[in-house]
Amino acid sequence: MKIAVIQMVSGSDVQVNLQHARGLLEAAANQGAELAVLPEYFCLMGQTDADKLAIGEPFGRGPLQKFLSSSARDLGLWVVGGTLPLTDGSPSEGGTGKVASDRVSNSSLVFSPDGNCVARYNKIHLFRFDNGRERYDESLVLTAGQDPVFFDLPSQDGHTWRIGLSVCYDLRFAELYRAYAHAGAHLLLVPSAFTYTTGHDHWEVLLRARAIENLAFVAAAAQGGLHDNQRRTWGHAMTIDPWGKLLGQLDTGEGVVVTDLDFANLMACRNRLPALQHRVLGLN
């Protein structure tokens, strides 16, 4: 199965971000991808964390979800919409676009080529970091998800791929990916906006670890560069095979990494090292 992980340098103008995202999705489709993954916060890297609240949408309607749906349908792609802010409430009155709630979910939505949303994953683990120079606390504006979510993709290669969803900081919590492995996942997605500081030291090693320990492909879309809010993200969107080998990577800047995932390679890795069958703890 041919997939594309997309790297962006999103800013504070939603419409500009959507234009860039559409162009990158078109590039993925033109290169023959069946599945394209946008990065976390593809639609907005705001000046403040609270900017997410102003573009929050109820699940099932809104311009951001319409964009993802129409892109999937127009391009004949499975599209994973990185993340976008969703609220369980309704937009406030007066046409401001702001939501009534002071929290939104950081949600990854999956759209099939017919434009239907087939899966929603709410980011479970909320990032907090403070090294004295940089400070982040997603819990100030986000509400955490509770459940792992996977979906099945019947590929043109004749196989049905089971795909586990996760987002950015989730990458540090191996038990989430082990749950996907236990459910039979073949591919793990990690749309992200890793900070430059943490990404420099931890990004690749964590992605490769998740691939190796679960004998699964890993595909990580990313934000990668200096944003107009002066935040710098690490980038290095990449795909990794079940043996931990790097298949494709883009260091920084906008672009698309297109990779062929070989189901036979996946099964060969699992057959020669049947570690998933040797698990003793955490099986219930």
Q: Which domains does the chain have, with CATH numbers?
A: 2-278 (3.60.110.10)
Q: What is the pTM of this model?
A: 0.94
State how far the Cα of 173 lies from the Cα of 149, in Å rounded to an integer. Answer: 15
Q: Residue 186 in contact with residue 161, Cβ under 8 Å?
A: yes
Could you tell me the pLDDT band of residue 282, with boundaries at 50, 70 and 90?
confident
Percent of the chain with pLDDT over 90: 90
- Of 99-108, 187-196, 230-239, give the lowest mean pLDDT range: 99-108
Q: Looking at residues 216-236, what average pLDDT do you find?
A: 97
State how far the Cα of 18 lies from the Cα of 226, in Å rounded to an integer. Answer: 18
Give the SS3 label for residue 11.
Answer: coil
Give the CA count within 13 Å in the CB-facing half-sphere of 90: 4
Residue 100 has pLDDT above 50, yes or no: no
pLDDT for the residue 44: 98
Closest CA to 8 of 208, 282, 224, 172: 224
State how far the Cα of 35 lies from the Cα of 39, in Å rounded to an integer. Answer: 13
Residue 88 has pLDDT above 80, yes or no: no
Residue 99 has pLDDT above 80, yes or no: no
The catalytic residues are 40, 123, 168
State how far the Cα of 223 lies from the Cα of 121, in Å rounded to an integer. Answer: 19
Residue 95 has pLDDT above 60, yes or no: no
Could you tell me the pLDDT band of residue 284, with boundaries at 50, 70 and 90?
low
Give the SS3 label for residue 20.
Answer: helix
pLDDT for the residue 89: 52
Distance of CA 243 to the CA centre of its chain: 21
pLDDT, tens digit (0-9, with 9 covering 90-100), for 114-168:
999 999 999 999 999 999 998 989 999 999 999 999 999 999 999 999 999 999 9
pLDDT, tens digit (0-9, with 9 covering 90-100), for 25-51:
999 999 999 999 999 999 999 999 899
State how far the Cα of 184 lies from the Cα of 162, in Å rounded to an integer. Answer: 7
56-84 burial, b at 16+ Cβ within 10 Å, e below that, comes to bbeeeebebbebbbebbbebebbbbbbbb
State how far the Cα of 175 lies from the Cα of 165, in Å rounded to an integer. Answer: 13
